[in-house]
Amino acid sequence: MSSDSDAAALARLIAESRRAVVFTGAGISTESGIPDFRSPGGIWTQMAPIYFDDFLASEEARRETWRRRFAMEREFGGAKPNRGHRAVAELVRRGTVASVITQNIDGLHQRSGVPVSRVIELHGNTTYAHCLDCGTRHELDDIRHDFERDGKAPRCRRCKGFVKTATISFGQAMPQAEMRRAEIATLAADLFIVLGSSLVVYPAAGFPELAKRNGARLAIVNREPTGLDEIADLVIHQGIGDTLGQAVGVN
């Protein structure tokens, strides 16, 4: 199939939907230059991950976590939403898409104009931090200033608790409230659109399965084959920005 007919088939599914949900993975953000950290050769296969228990137990692990975070900021902090993000935002604006469930932690859906209330972040958000004890939000720019001056892992300005990016670490439980919201959104959907996820990380990958079992149509746009291609109504192994941008009419 040519990419024209792929985009047309996706446009048709979207036109026939009354309530769609979008589910995004690393593949939508690689088009903004943010690497897929879990892919072979990705950063997480070169550096041992720091588990949540180690973060809690060790000042050295906390320092190393923050050192990596700011190194990442220097490389990818300038990343901007791409055509795929803009097309998703347009579908939300039109009311076609009710919720965006994402495995990404980069905040690019919000930056592309999707209201914060419509984004369900399964793995949290790395663009800000919070205190693990009292929840107070901390901005990265403030933390970096102190970190570069003192070389110490940041502590909460209010309660001195440990401060960590608002992400879900290895060894940390999935966020219950977000999982529940994602489930509700999935069960309400008549069309479930996967963008840039290989659908191998559970429990997140369970949502498209749930949608399909619940009678929704399933569309998958991902460069590589995914674990759920066989049960999908439409599978497109092409770039997301071009495919969805064309389907939605967004540049």
Q: Is 231 in the site for Zn ion (CB under 5 A)?
A: no
The answer to whether the beta carbons of residues 200 and 209 sit under 8 Å apart is no
Q: Is 158 in the site for Zn ion (CB under 5 A)?
A: yes
Closer to Zn ion by CB, 157 or 223: give it: 157
Closer to Zn ion by CB, 156 or 189: give it: 156
Q: Considering only residues 1, 15, 71, 134, which one is a binding residue for Zn ion as defined by CB under 5 A?
A: 134
Give me the phi and psi of 91, to 5 degrees please.
-65, -35
Give kind and range of the element (H or E) at residue 66: helix 59-76
Which of these ranges, 26-34, 74-82, 152-160, 166-174, lies near Zn ion under the rule CB under 5 A? 152-160
Q: Is 159 in the site for Zn ion (CB under 5 A)?
A: yes
Is 145 designated active site? no
Closer to Zn ion by CB, 147 or 192: give it: 147
Select which of 85, 109, 123, 130 is catalytic.
123
Q: Is 133 in the site for Zn ion (CB under 5 A)?
A: yes
Which of these ranges, 6-14, 133-141, 169-177, 181-189, lies near Zn ion under the rule CB under 5 A? 133-141
The answer to whether the beta carbons of residues 59 and 153 sit under 8 Å apart is yes
- Can you tell me the distance from the alpha carbon of 129 to that of 127, in angstroms, rounded to the nearest whole number? 7
Q: Is 161 in the site for Zn ion (CB under 5 A)?
A: yes
Q: Count Cα neighbours of 171 within 13 Å in the Cβ-side half-sphere.
A: 8
Helix axes 83-94, 240-248, angle to 10 degrees: 30
- Can you tell me the distance from the alpha carbon of 129 to that of 164, in angstroms, rounded to the nearest whole number? 5
Residues recognised as catalytic: 123
Q: Which residues bind Zn ion (CB under 5 A)?
A: 131, 133-134, 136, 156, 158-159, 161
